[in-house]
Chain A
Amino acid sequence: MRRGRARTGPASRALSALRIVAGGLVLLGTAAVDVAAQSSVYGVPGLGHPGRASSARARALGGGFAALDPASPINPATVAGLGGITVEMMGETDFRGYQIGSVDVGGLTSTRFPLAQLGGRIGSTPLSFAVSFAQYTERSYDLTNSDTVILRGVPVGFDERITSRGGMSDIRLALGYRAGSRLRFGAAGHLLTGSAKLTFQRTFADSTYRPYRIETDESVEGLGASVGLVWAPAARVSVGLAARSDTRAEVTVDSAVVAQVDLPVTLSAGLQVTPVGPIRWFTTFMWRSWGEADGDLTARAFDTWEIGTGVELGGPESGLSRFPLRLGYRYATMPFSPTDDQPFEVNFSLGLGAVFAGNRGLVDVALERAYRNGGGARETAWQVSWTVTVRP
Chain B
Amino acid sequence: MEARRTKYGLTLVAVLGAGLALGCGEDLLAPATGTCPGFCPPEQLEVVDSILLDVITSDSTFTGYVLPWEATALQTYRDSSDAGDAGSRAVITFPAFSDSLRVGGSSDTTRGPVVGTDSIAVRLQVSGGNVDATGRELLLYRISPDVDTAATYGDLDLVFADSALLATVPVPDSVTSDSLRVTLDGSAFPGFEQDGNRIGIGVALRNPTGYVQLGSVEGGAPAIITRYVRVDSAGTAVPRVEGRIPDFDTFVGTAIAAAPATSRVVGGVPAARTLLRFALPGRIADSSEVLRATLLLLPSEPVLGAPNDSLAVIAQGLATDVGAKSPLVGVPADSVSLRIAFVGVGSTDTVRLDVTDLVIRWTNDSTAPRALALRAIPEGSSFAELRIGAANGPLRPRLHVTFVPPLPLGER
Contact = CB atoms under 8 A, between A and B. Distances in A.
Interface of A: 3, 6, 12, 15, 19, 22, 26, 29-30, 33, 36-38, 41, 44-47, 89, 91, 93, 98, 100-103, 105, 107-111, 113, 140-147, 149, 151-152, 160, 162-164, 196, 198, 200, 202, 204, 208-210, 212, 214, 216, 218, 251-253, 258-259, 261, 296-299, 338-339, 356-357, 360-361, 375-377, 388, 390, 392
Given A12-B2, A33-B24, A145 B31 contact: yes
Interface string B278-313: 000000000001111000000000000000000000
Main secondary structure of the interface of B (DSSP, over half): mixed
B6 to A, nearest CB: 7
A390 B6 CA distance: 11
B38 A30 contact: no
Contacts of B49: 151-152
Nearest to A89: B16
A140 B28 contact: yes
Contact of B292 (A36, A160, A210): A210
B19 interface: yes
A357 B289 contact: no
Given A12-B2, A110-B27, A210-B356, A144 B412 contact: no
A253 B400 CA distance: 31
Nearest to B338: A208
A41 to B, nearest CB: 6
6 contacts: A41-B35, A45-B39, A143-B35, A145-B36, A210-B290, A360-B9
Contact of A41 (B17, B39, B41, B409): B39
Contacts of B33: 103, 144-147
Contacts of B404: 212
A113 B412 contact: no
B400 to A, nearest CB: 7
B256 interface: no
A388 B16 contact: yes
A295 to B, nearest CB: 11
Given A36-B24, A259-B410, 20 more contacts: A41-B35, A41-B39, A103-B33, A108-B27, A110-B26, A110-B27, A144-B32, A163-B28, A164-B41, A202-B45, A209-B292, A212-B45, A212-B289, A212-B291, A218-B410, A258-B408, A298-B42, A357-B4, A360-B8, A388-B15
Contacts of B19: 91, 113
B39 A36 contact: no
Interface in B1-26: 1-2, 4-6, 8-9, 12-13, 15-17, 19-20, 23-26
A143 B40 contact: yes
B32 A198 contact: no
Interface of B: 1-2, 4-6, 8-9, 12-13, 15-17, 19-20, 23-43, 45, 47, 49, 289-292, 338, 354, 356, 360, 400, 402, 404, 407-412
Contacts of A12: 2
A93 B23 contact: yes
B26 A209 contact: no
Given A113-B20, A152-B49, A214-B407, A356 B8 contact: yes
Nearest to B37: A338
Contacts of B4: 357
Given A113-B20, A258-B411, A101 B291 contact: no
Q: Which of B6, B13, B289 counts the most A-chain CB atoms under 10 A from its CB?
A: B13
B149 to A, nearest CB: 43
A26 B410 contact: no
A376 B38 contact: yes
A388 B8 CA distance: 12
A214 B289 contact: yes
Nearest to B22: A111
Given A19-B9, A208-B356, A29 B412 contact: no
A108 B289 contact: no
A278 B153 CA distance: 115
Contacts of A38: 26, 28
| Residue among A15, A37, A41, A212 with the highest chain B CB neighbour number at 10 A | A212
B30 A105 contact: yes
A107 B27 contact: yes
A360 to B, nearest CB: 6
A280 to B, nearest CB: 26
B38 A251 contact: no
A145 B411 contact: no
Contacts of B13: 22, 26, 390
Nearest to A44: B39
Contacts of A212: 45, 289, 291, 404
Which 4 pairs between the two chains have the least Cβ-Cβ distance?
A: A338-B38, A143-B32, A142-B28, A218-B410
Contacts of A19: 9
B27 A261 contact: no
A165 to B, nearest CB: 9
A19 B43 CA distance: 46
A376 B8 contact: no
Nearest to B30: A105
A375 B410 contact: no
Nearest to B408: A258
A216 B410 CA distance: 9
Contact of A388 (B6, B12, B26, B47): B12
B402 A151 contact: yes
A30 B2 CA distance: 27
Contacts of B43: 162, 200
A259 B31 contact: no
B26 A200 contact: no
Nearest to B292: A209
Contacts of B41: 44, 141, 143, 162, 164
A26 B16 contact: yes
A41 B17 CA distance: 29
Contact of A357 (B8, B36, B39): B8
Contacts of B402: 151-152, 209
Given A103-B34, A110-B26, A200-B43, A210 B291 contact: yes
Given A45-B39, A360-B8, A91 B1 contact: no
Contacts of B36: 145
B1 to A, nearest CB: 7
A200 B45 contact: yes
A93 to B, nearest CB: 7
Contact of B360 (A93, A210, A377): A210
B405 to A, nearest CB: 11
Given A111-B26, A361-B12, A390-B12, A208 B31 contact: no
A297 to B, nearest CB: 5
Contacts of A390: 8-9, 12-13
A47 B41 CA distance: 11
A45 B408 CA distance: 16
Nearest to A210: B291
B35 A103 contact: yes
B30 A108 contact: yes
A109 B25 contact: yes
Contacts of A338: 37-39
